Amino acid sequence: MSTKVIHALYNDDDVLMDAVKTTRAAHHHIEEVYTPFPVHGLDKALGLAPTRLAICAFIYGLCGLGFGTFMMDYIMIQDWPQDIGGKPSFSYIQNMPAFVPVMFELTVFFAAHLMVITFFLRSRLWPFKAAENPDVRTTDDHFLMEVSLHGNEEEAVEFFKSTGAVEVKVIDKH
């Protein structure tokens, strides 16, 4: 069994934005939009939920801070509490100023890298991943809106033509 989708191609971001709004108003379900660059406000127009990557980064940063603190407390204060140049190694807080640079760097390191890895995993991006944009022009200057097709085909094609699409295709999607 195959389902049909419509690929409506636009060559202008403003036309695309208007088309997204009209399509949503006409209760067509937009499956996906492929654009060559970030069209500001498109996620709002599509009704996409905000991303939580920044929240992840904050938590990862706390993990990094915790890791750094634990590591340096164990190494410098618990395991080998030596006197190195008269630095007080009786408790973490006494020699804390010397640990600030590494605590800071580890916070940034964890926050940045784990967030980027989360982004790659969530958006399914990795070196040998095959590209999934249905038309090569969508990385150049074309904007593609993929809409699921229910009911009358000609009517739908006509509708998308009227939204300013330069090309409307009906695709069999397995």
Contact residues toward other proteins (CB under 8 A) are 11-15, 17, 32-43, 46, 48, 50-51, 53-54, 57, 71-72, 75-76, 79-80, 84-85, 87, 95, 98-99, 101-102, 104-106, 108-109, 111-113, 115-116, 119-120, 122-133, 136-141
What's the closest the beta carbon of residue 17 comes to other proteins, in angstroms?
8
Give whichever of 103 and 149 is closer to other proteins, judged by the CB atom: 103
Q: How far is the CB of 7 from other proteins (least distance, A)?
A: 14
E-assigned strand segments in 25-156: 30-34, 143-148
The C-alpha angle 121, 123, 126, rounded to 5 degrees, equals 60
Q: Whose Cβ is closer to other proteins: residue 129's or residue 150's?
A: 129
Q: For other proteins, which is the closer residue by CB, 13 or 147?
A: 13
In terms of C-beta distances under 8 Å and separation of at least 24 residues, what long-range contacts does 107-111 make, across chains too?
107/61, 107/62, 107/64, 107/65, 107/68, 108/61, 108/64, 109/64, 110/60, 110/61, 110/63, 110/64, 110/65, 110/67, 111/57, 111/58, 111/60, 111/61, 111/64
Q: How far is the CB of 101 from other proteins (least distance, A)?
A: 4
SS3 content of the chain, % helix, strand, coil (to 5): 50, 15, 35
Q: Residue 1 or residue 49: which is nearer to other proteins going by CB?
A: 49
Q: In this structure, are residues 68 and 99 in contact, taking their beta carbons and an 8 Å threshold?
A: yes
Closest to other proteins by CB, 120 vs 152, is: 120
* Cβ-contact 154, 20 below 8 angstroms: no
Q: In whole angstroms, how close is the CB of 123 to other proteins at the nearest point?
A: 5
Least gap, CB of 82 to other proteins (angstroms): 8
